Amino acid sequence: MSKSGEKLRLAIVCYPTFGGSGVIATELGQALAARGHEVHIISTGLPARLRPVTGLRFHRVQVISYPLFEYPPYTLALATKIADVIREAHIELVHVHYAIPHSIAALLGQEMADCRVKIVTTLHGTDAQLIGLEPSYREVTRYGMIRSSGLTAVSRYLAEASVREFDLKREVRVIPNFIDTRLFRRRNDPRLRRKLARTGEKILIHVSNFRDVKRPWEVVEIFKGILESVPARLYMVGEGPARQRTEMTAHRLGLDDRVHFSSFVEQVQEWLSQADLLVHPSEMESFGLVPLEAMSCGVPVLAYRVGGLPEVVEDGGCGHLVATGDIDGAVARGSALLTDKEQWEAFSLRGQSIAREKFSLGRIVPRYERYFREVLAS
């Protein structure tokens, strides 16, 4: 077992997408490798933010398509890869992001490898609040949580909800998401600003995976109201099933020349740095990584008061939180903020301060490191 100061040998399992869990898993792996640990990232594709770091290796899961299977057997292919990595790299701890299917695949991989490795599961929200509560998945989700050696959640709200909904008789350690505040910081780029908006126009931005739960079409509705008193442009960044409805909303409201859609931007911090307001009307949010990234870039946040967001966004300090579906309230708060330079600057500075003091990579990664050692020693 690793003791304090000794190198950890761990595998991290995640989805390769731009979603919060994939981003956090990748950044955590890179940060731990930079701290001298041996890290193996396992995923179906190269994670979006993965970059070369000494001590970090990537392992791709090959999922086959076969006429017999209506759906590709991802969980079984993942379990096999986890077992292979455990044996080949002498892994002592597997850290999975999402209870299902990743914790189940890790448990199966552990059995196949016939090694007494520890498994830590991090809950991000979708696994515990949406899919995991479906009757077809509730029991297996709970099983993954119970059988994990360690269990964490990205917010106090999610930890308490998971304990309640799944009747857990164990601790769910709260370790919040984090960002690299050196990367996500305010940068004045007049050239990019001129590219995104005309002189005198405010820039509003929304970044998500365009799932229905994010309500991206309501971003456009809120923007329509703000536009009545504030000259502005809106940038909708991302891809997903609700994008078509969102584009149709912009067209229906006559905003084709004011609302701009873009696929995921690799250097999203550069766009955030030019923005004046992040609009984030999600109906469910276990943490709110995008709002945190915006805050770190000095962008005030306009969002619904849901889930773990109040643990990240200080209402009236670095942004405004309104009731879910309160379009008029969001319009009023957003318009007032964008026309009050003094308050906007105060919100911008406060957001940057919160990001640095509470959610920086340097503060959160050591908490994961300590927790891993605690689990290994138990």
Q: Spell out the domain ranges in the chain.
A: 9-178+360-377, 190-358
Q: Is-same-fold flag (9-178+360-377; 190-358)?
A: yes
Determine the average pLDDT of the residues in 302-309: 97
Class of domain 9-178+360-377: alpha beta
Which CATH code, of 2.120.10.30, 3.20.20.70, 3.40.718.10, 3.40.50.2000, is assigned to 190-358?
A: 3.40.50.2000
pLDDT at 47: 82
Pick 133 or 53 by higher pLDDT: 53
Pick 16 or 128 by higher pLDDT: 16
Q: Long-range pairs for 42-46 at CB < 8 Å and ≥24 separation?
A: 42/11, 42/12, 42/13, 42/14, 42/78, 42/81, 42/82, 42/85, 43/13, 43/14, 43/15, 43/16, 44/15, 44/16, 44/74, 44/78, 45/16, 46/16
Does the pLDDT of residue 2 top 60, yes or no? no
pLDDT band with cut points at 50, 70 and 90 for residue 129? low
pTM over 0.85, yes/no: yes
pLDDT at 1: 41
pLDDT at 5: 67
pLDDT band with cut points at 50, 70 and 90 for residue 131? low
Nearby residues of 105 by Cβ (< 8 Å), 6 or more positions away = 13, 75, 76, 78, 79, 82, 96
* 12-21, 136-145, 221-230, 339-348: least confident range: 12-21
Q: HSE of 287 in the Cβ direction (CA atoms, 13 Å)?
A: 25
Cα–Cα distance between 12 and 93 in angstroms, integer? 9
